[in-house]
Amino acid sequence: MISPLLRGRTLSFLRWPETVDDHPAWRYEEDGGLLIRDGRIAAAGTYAEVEKKADEGAKKIDHRPHLLLPGFIDAHAHFPQMQVIASHGAELLDWLNTYTFPEETKFQNAQHGRRIARLFLDEVVRHGTTTVAAYCSVHRESAEAFFAESHDRNMLNIAGKVMMDRNAPEGVLDTAQSAYDDSKALIADWHGKGRQHYAITPRFAITSSHEQLEMAGALCREYPDLHMQTHLSENHAEIAFTLQLHPKARDYTDVYEHYGLLGRKSLFGHCIHLSEREADSLSDSGSVVVFCPTSNLFLGSGLFDYQRYRTRDKALRIAAATDVGGGTNYSMLRTMDEGYKVIALNGEKLNPFQSFWQLTRGNAEALSVVERIGTLDQGSDADIIVLDARATPAMRLRMETADTLAEELFMLQTLGDDRAVREVYVAGRAAKSDMAV
């Protein structure tokens, strides 16, 4: 097996960068090298150092002057919503009822699920995302299709069959028992197979009966290492309806708490309108709140207070995500551009190193997979992207006046999209140039 030796400007984070001058927070090599063996990074450092460790037959790939970064991680997206994206004129509950639930009924058809799973993973990879925490539809076949496609590509993905047994059309409902049985069967078939991770996925409190939330809690207890993903506190009408369904709950978070769904592997999409008690409880349990800026703007859900959550006494663990198809773009660059604006509307700023930390190491830490992905450290899986800051005429022109790495990164975030992603390596294999488009 040939081992690729990549050359380029490598950037990888060690921790949260406090300021743009906080150099110890990242490792940047102007002439960097990455030696890949068996899908992992066998050596990283200056090109001169790394080249010495390469075998005679190593395949040298020169990506200069481009940047080499860990692949982006998308912490929340719905693969069955590729044909929901860009649906006009509704807030969350109407949007679900009008567009999303009818679309997801199509995933009864296994062939449709396989087609969309393939196109979804093509699309995320084209945009430089090498890991996604994905919601499938309620149908077991949709999760089968997603995992089969992900495994074929040797991607590290996290996914689960959605559990939902009420307040939605018949074609997207399971039962408490069938959700439990199907989730167990999928866990047995896919969790830990290659790079696949299963996530227990009750859609949200509105669409799961008490009995089904009990079942979700039972699965979390049976499989404490698995992720759990759901939605929380996205929209005012959603919160009101949830509290109507759970009159004894102290608040929305308490509904999930009651069923034992909080914890370090638990990912809560949105979390925009949390009370202090809810935020404390999420923090105490080590739960993760997932920032989905394009979705929150598109559906008019509200402004996630990133800096307050990050710096409060009981700080929250934060991930960032597209939330396609409530979200409007597959690109994590476009996502953090909108994220920057949401944070600005809350009177704060995120510096470009912080943004790129979030998209790589930050999301890997939030998803508890930093041992495998999110950095360019030796021993990590070789999920690597190549970013070109001069990908379009407007970017090329702007780069004429960018003097620092911070400016280049901020320009990539503000103007960049899939065109700035020149190559994507998934476990060491060039996956973007390989793709028939």
Closer to Fe ion by Cβ: residue 117 or 267: 267
**Nearest approach, Cβ of 296 to ligand GUN (angstroms)?**
8
Instruction: Say whether 98 sits in a helix, a strand or coil.
Output: helix
Give, in order, the Cα–Cα distances in Å from 186 to each of 71, 107, 140: 26, 16, 8
Supply the minimum distance, in Å, between the C-beta of residue 201 and Fe ion: 10
Does residue 295 touch ligand GUN according to CB under 6 A?
A: yes
With binding defined as CB under 6 A, does residue 278 bind ligand GUN? no
Smallest gap from Cβ 177 to ligand GUN, in A, equals 22
| Closer by beta carbon to ligand GUN, 206 or else 318 | 206
Shorter beta-carbon distance to ligand GUN: residue 78 or 191: 78
> Please, what is the minimum distance in Å from the beta carbon of residue 338 to Fe ion?
15
| Closer of 45 and 269 to Fe ion (Cβ) | 269
Name the residue nearer to ligand GUN (CB basis): 103 or 383. Answer: 103
Q: How far is the CB of 100 from ligand GUN (least distance, A)?
A: 5
Query: Measured between alpha carbons, how far is 160 from 143 in angstroms, rounded to an integer?
Result: 6
Q: Which does 79 bind (CB under 5 to 8 A by kind): Fe ion, ligand GUN, none?
A: none
* Cβ pair 139, 161 in contact under 8 A: yes
Distances (CA, A) of 164 to 58, 300, 433: 50, 24, 38
Q: Is 78 in the site for ligand GUN (CB under 6 A)?
A: yes
Determine, following the binding rule CB under 6 A, whether residue 231 of this chain makes contact with ligand GUN: yes
- Between residue 297 and residue 336, which ones bind ligand GUN under the rule CB under 6 A? 323, 326
Asked if 80 touches Fe ion (CB under 5 A), the answer is: no
Residue of 428, 405, 383, 382 lying closest to 27 (CA atoms):
405
- Cα–Cα nearest to 373, from 197, 148, 122: 197
Q: Which stretch binds ligand GUN (CB under 6 A): 54-62, 92-100, 148-156, 245-253?
A: 92-100
Q: Which does 128 bind (CB under 5 to 8 A by kind): Fe ion, ligand GUN, none?
A: none
Q: Which residue's beta carbon is nearest to the bound ligand GUN?
A: 326
CA–CA distance, 47 with 93 (Å, rounded to integer): 53
Smallest distance from ligand GUN to CB 268, Å: 11
Which of Fe ion, ligand GUN, none has residue 202 at its interface (CB below 5 to 8 Å by kind)?
none
Among positions 63, 139, 203, 273, the unique one binding ligand GUN when judged by CB under 6 A:
203
Q: What per-residue string of b and e applies to 403-427 under the rule 16 or more CB within 10 Å gives b?
A: eebbbbbbbbbbbbbbebbbbbbbb
Q: What is the largest CA-CA distance in the chain?
A: 69
Is residue 103 near ligand GUN by the rule CB under 6 A? no
What DSSP element (H or E) covers 384? strand 384-387
Check binding of 100 to ligand GUN (CB under 6 A): yes
Apex CA 84: angle with CA 79 and CA 85, to 5°? 85
Task: Say if strands 157-160 and 196-202 run parallel, antiparallel, or are unpaired.
Answer: parallel
**For residue 370, what are its two tokens?**
């930093």
Which contiguous run of DSSP H or E holds residue 217?
Answer: helix 210-222
Asked whether position 76 contacts ligand GUN by CB under 6 A, the answer is: no
Q: Which is nearer to Fe ion, 101 or 353 (CB)?
A: 101
Q: Are strands 266-270 and 227-232 parallel, antiparallel or unpaired?
A: parallel
Q: How far is CA 110 from the centre of its chain?
A: 24
| Sequence letter at residue 119 | L
Site for Fe ion in 300-359 (CB under 5 A): 323
CB of 232 to ligand GUN, least distance (A): 9
Considering only residues 243 to 272 of the shown chain, the ones binding Fe ion according to CB under 5 A are 269
State the binding partner of 195 from Fe ion, ligand GUN, none, CB within 5 to 8 A by kind.
none
Provide the β-strand partners of residue 158: 133, 197
9, 65 Cβ separation under 8 angstroms: yes
CB of 207 to ligand GUN, least distance (A): 7
- Closest to Fe ion by CB, 326 vs 352, is 326
Residue 85 or 384: the one with the smaller Cβ distance to ligand GUN is 85
CA–CA separation, 263 and 213 (whole Å): 15
User: By rule CB under 5 A, what string of x and - marks binding of each residue 361-390 to Fe ion?
Assistant: ------------------------------
**SS3 call for 299:** coil
Partner whose binding site includes residue 203, from ligand GUN, Fe ion, none (CB under 5 to 8 Å by kind):
ligand GUN
For residue 33, what are the contacts with CB-CB under 8 A and spacing of at least 6? 5, 6, 7, 10, 43, 44, 45, 46, 47, 48, 49, 50, 51
In the complex, minimum distance from the CB of residue 48 to ligand GUN, in angstroms, rounded to a whole number: 48
Q: Which residues bind Fe ion (CB under 5 A)?
A: 269, 323
Q: Which residues bind ligand GUN (CB under 6 A)?
A: 78, 92, 96, 100, 203-204, 231, 234, 295, 323, 326
